[in-house]
Structure formats: structure tokens, C-alpha cells
Amino acid sequence: MTRFIFVTGGVVSSLGKGITTAAIAAILEKRGLKVAIQKLDPYLNVDPGTMSPFEHGEVYVTEDGAETDLDLGHYERFSDASVNKYSNATTGSIYSEVIRKERKGQYLGKTVQVIPHITDQIKEAIKQGAQRGTDVAIIEIGGTAGDIESLPFLEAIRQFGQEQGKGKACFVHLTLLPFLRASEEMKTKPTQQSVGRLREIGIQPDILVCRCERPMTEEMRRKISLFCNVVEQDVIQEQDVETTIYEVPLDLVREGLDASLVRHLRLEDTPNPDMSDWEDLRERFRNPKGEIEIAIVGKYIQLHDAYKSIYEALAHGGAGHQHKVRFRKLEAEEVLDEGPEKLLAGVHGILVPGGFGERGLEGKIQAVKWARENGVPCFGICFGMQAMVIEHARNIAGIEGANTSEVDPDCPAPVIDLMDEQRDVSDKGGTMRLGAYPCRITEDSRAAALYGRDMVLERHRHRWEYNNHYRDTLEKSGLTSSGVYEAKNLVEIVELTDHPFHLGVQYHPEFKSKPLAPHPLFLGFVEAAIAQKDASSNPSSSKQVEA
């Protein structure tokens, strides 16, 4: 029998609701429970796939090819909860389903309304998200209590909770305790008001998680408990972390959140969590043996969330080697304008992430060239891999006019080209090559050494592909194809063998990296960057070693 936890947010957005939800999953798993997580987003897009990264941050792709909210990335990084196309629903997806049913005449002549038809569809989506065999389904509601567009979702979870009955559902509300510098105190009023909004709708939170800069005093806890009608032990402090978001599960266990949750869900007989792997991880983040600097040469650099999973995967790779990874975030266009040497000098590795459209491509190509010529580790992902292929084609293989037909449809040598099955696609939503595909790894390649396996499953999100017409020329001039999707003979990995690290992948390995299990390619890239740092800070000794 599945229990349900609903996580809502109040006061302001960007409180870290996704991370808190993910951390709840992590600590319940440590109590031996099987967890599913779902995000309900109140916006009208059917999914975030058509939104600009500036608007919404990264689009996170699930194994089964759904384009979803980036919070699902947190869920998968923190937990083993399976996340799939049912794990993210939006106002858009709910309404389109209801409208589809209405057109089919499935409402039997009724007036179709927000309550009960939209709310019923939301409840249906919650049940689908829970999946068979789940002990606890955690549902995060996007937005902030009081938003107009969240109302149907809040009404639906209110009904859902009531239908489940006591001990089967639990409402967690995340709020902010702002610290006022002028009066040197933390304020509880916004929390009281936010809980007030929820209670107007009919939801009495069982647990309050209070985000705060400084520790919450016992007096504040008493006050919040009294005004919000939540017992003191269920008023949980979630203070800003010291070094990394991966401390959150530990902090929440220390504050007793897992105990509160299992009490409300009548799961007290589950064992106390053993958090030793998370403790070990925290140590590796807190006491790094060294530090490296990685340049990210992208197009959506101003917004950290636009490459969220990439930054996280780099941090995981760093923690795996007990190193801190600093990011030098560079606009690809600036690399082109100012020259790579000026902006890239001194970095220990360069990561060229995915992207779409013309802007920034030539800058990415310049960065790849600089990395190749200077022996600096370079890791290309998706559009970044395509930039590596174009750079090699133009500058090593001597393929005149090499480009991607995405940017120049009439270029003389489209070394990156559209797959035939993509040529007639006109809809933008959900039509790319999406989700996990198997990739056969070539023996004796760097990819093989890093993966330690000859077959991997990695997630895709793109339309264009390496063009096999140029494969022979590219390979003969040194660009090894070290991974292939055999069913369609598509090159998925390219690399230079005589370089410290020059590797590009058509897929998105960052989606499968976890702090407790860093992705092998990110571990390998960070390792190469550490070696680059050691060599550059101690050139004479590295020469001696070579000699």
C-alpha cells in the first residue's frame, strides 16, 4: 500500500523545494522504503521542452525520453527513485488530456469544469506517478501557495489526502524565515501567512520545513507551532548548507524530519537511517585535497540552472577525486570575439555543453581548437561534440566548408547533418531523438577504459547527427569513433587518442551522474584536469617524468 507525501512551498520561490523533496526521498530510502517522486508544474506548457533555458533552466531528460523539469534531475541525483514520463505533469498536460477526453465525448454530456474534471485528472496523474510497488510517493507542487495557477493542484491534493485518510498522506510545507539585518532577528510572520493561505484552501500542513540563514531558536519554534497549528517536533529547521547541497539529507535527519515523516505515515517500524555514505561524501566536499578550474564555454552561461546537471556532474567527478571544481563560465561568443587564449589561459579543462542554433557555435569551435592545440583536456557534450567534429574536419581532416546543417543548411560539407527521419518533422515539442539508447563502446578506446564496459545506455536530446559520409576521412585523420548506436550505425562518441583528454559524446552523460556514483566520463575528465594542473604547476618535474 502506497503512502503519499505532498510538498508545497510558501513565501517565495527558489527556496530549494526540489532539493528538499529529493533529500526526503534519500532519507526515506535509507529507512528501507521504496520511493517514487513526481513534480506537478502549474504552467501551461505541456512540458518544458519548448521553453528557452533562460526561461526555465535546463530541460532534464528521463530514461524513457520525457523532457521534464530540472527538479527531476535532483530527484535522480539524490535517490534511486525511478523517474519517467509519469513523473512530471503540468497544467498543460492535464488540460490537454481533459480536452482530448471531452472531444471524444467521454464526459457523457456533462459541463466540463476545473472541479471535478481537472482535479480528477490531477489525481489520476498522481496515481500514475506512484507506480506499482512504491512504499512512499512524494509529490512536489511547483509554484508558491497563493498563486492563481497552483489552485487546482492544491485542491486536488487536498481531496487526495482526504480520500487516503489518516496515516496514508502527509503534507509538508516549505517556508522561509527571513533574517532582518536592521533588527537582527528572524521573522515568522511570512510563514504564518503562507500556512494561512494553505488552510484557507483546506490544507493543514503536518510538517513545516523552515529555510533559514541562521539557526532557529526554540522560542521561534514554539511560536511557529502555536500560530500554524503544527506540533513543535514537526517544525523542522533547514538552515543554509555549509559547502554543498548534498549535506541536506544529513541536516534533515539531524533535525528529525525522517522521524516526523514516518510518524505521520505510520511507518515507525522502519530502521533508523544509516547515513554513512552521505557523511563520507560531505567530508570529501569539505576537505578537498586540491582544486581545479574548468571552463564551461556555452550559450546560456548567465543562468546557472541552464546547465544544472553539468555543473553537478562536474562536482560529483571532483568529489570522486576529492577535489573542488571551480567553474569559469564563458560566453562562447566572447571566446570568439576576444580570442580563446585570453579567456581560457590557465584553466585545467574545458567543457563544451549542448545547445541549439547558430549563436555561439564558432566560439565553441575556437575553444575546442585551443584545447586541442594546447593539450588541455576537453569534453564536448551534444552540440559540444558536434563542435569537436566540425573543428577536426576543418582543421585536421582538411574538409573544406565543414559545418552542421543546423547552422548552415547549404554548407558544402555537412559533417553534422539531420537524420532522414527528422527531415519532415515540424512540431517542436517532444520530437527530437530523446531518451536512452544503447551505445557499443570500441575496444581499446579511452571511452572503453573509462566505462570499463562495452555497452552503455545514455540519454539523448538532439536532432542532428554525425554524418557517416565523412566517417572514413575523419577516422583516418585521427578522430576515433569510440561509440556507436549499432541499430542505426550512428556515431555517439569521438575522441583523439594522442591527447590528454579530447572526447565528445552525442548524448548527455550528465543526466546519469550521482554524487554517490559519479559518471565515469566526468571522473575521467576531472582526473585529466587534475593531471593538467599538476603538470602546469610543476612543469619541470613533469618533463622529468616524461624523460
Q: Give contact residues for ligand GLN (rule: CB under 6 A).
A: 354-356, 382-383, 406, 461-464
Question: Which position among 312, 510, 519, 527 bears the catalytic label?
Answer: 510
**Spatial contact of 4 and 52, defined as CB atoms under 8 Å apart:** no
User: CB of 381: closest distance to ligand GLN in angstroms?
Assistant: 7
Please give the torsion angle defined by the CA atoms of residues 261, 262, 263 and 265, in that order, rounded to the nearest 10 degrees: 90
User: CB of 318: closest distance to ligand GLN in angstroms?
Assistant: 23
382 is catalytic: yes
Starting at the edge strand found earlier in the chain, the sheet holding 235-239 runs 88-90, 35-41, 136-141, 3-9, 169-177, 207-212, 235-239
30 three-class SS: coil
527 is catalytic: no
β partners of residue 293? 326
User: CB of 260: closest distance to ligand GLN in angstroms?
Assistant: 41
Q: Which three cell numbers stand for residue 226?
A: 502555536
Our CB check for ligand GLN shows the closer of 328 and 463 to be: 463
CA dist 137 to 30, 54, 121, 130, Å?
15, 30, 17, 5
Which among 127, 139, 41 is positioned nearest to 81, based on CA atoms? 139
- End-to-end alpha carbon distance in the chain: 66
Residue partners of 403: CB distance under 8 A and separation at least 6: 390, 411, 413, 414, 415, 416
User: CB of 521: closest distance to ligand GLN in angstroms?
Assistant: 16
User: CB of 506: closest distance to ligand GLN in angstroms?
Assistant: 8
Our CB check for ligand GLN shows the closer of 383 and 525 to be: 383
User: CB of 499: closest distance to ligand GLN in angstroms?
Assistant: 22
User: CB of 462: closest distance to ligand GLN in angstroms?
Assistant: 3
Q: Which three cell numbers stand for residue 368?
A: 575546442
Distance CA 400, CA 416 (A): 14
**Spatial contact of 57 and 308, defined as CB atoms under 8 Å apart:** yes
User: CB of 39: closest distance to ligand GLN in angstroms?
Assistant: 21
Our CB check for ligand GLN shows the closer of 152 and 354 to be: 354
Question: Which position among 382, 406, 462, 502 bears the catalytic label?
Answer: 382
**Spatial contact of 141 and 13, defined as CB atoms under 8 Å apart:** no
Q: Which three cell numbers stand for residue 539?
A: 612543469
Distance CA 26, CA 71 (A): 14
User: CB of 26: closest distance to ligand GLN in angstroms?
Assistant: 28
CA dist 361 to 52, 274, 307, 335, Å?
17, 47, 16, 10
- Which residue minimizes CB distance to ligand GLN? 354
Instruction: Write the DSSP symbol of residue 415.
Output: E
Which among 425, 426, 406 is positioned nearest to 417, based on CA atoms? 406
**Spatial contact of 208 and 236, defined as CB atoms under 8 Å apart:** yes
Residues in the chain: 547
Distance CA 206, CA 218 (A): 19
Question: Which position among 316, 323, 348, 508 bears the catalytic label?
Answer: 508
Our CB check for ligand GLN shows the closer of 379 and 383 to be: 383
CA dist 474 to 1, 194, 279, 414, Å?
56, 60, 47, 13
210 is catalytic: no
Residues marked active site are found at 382, 508, 510
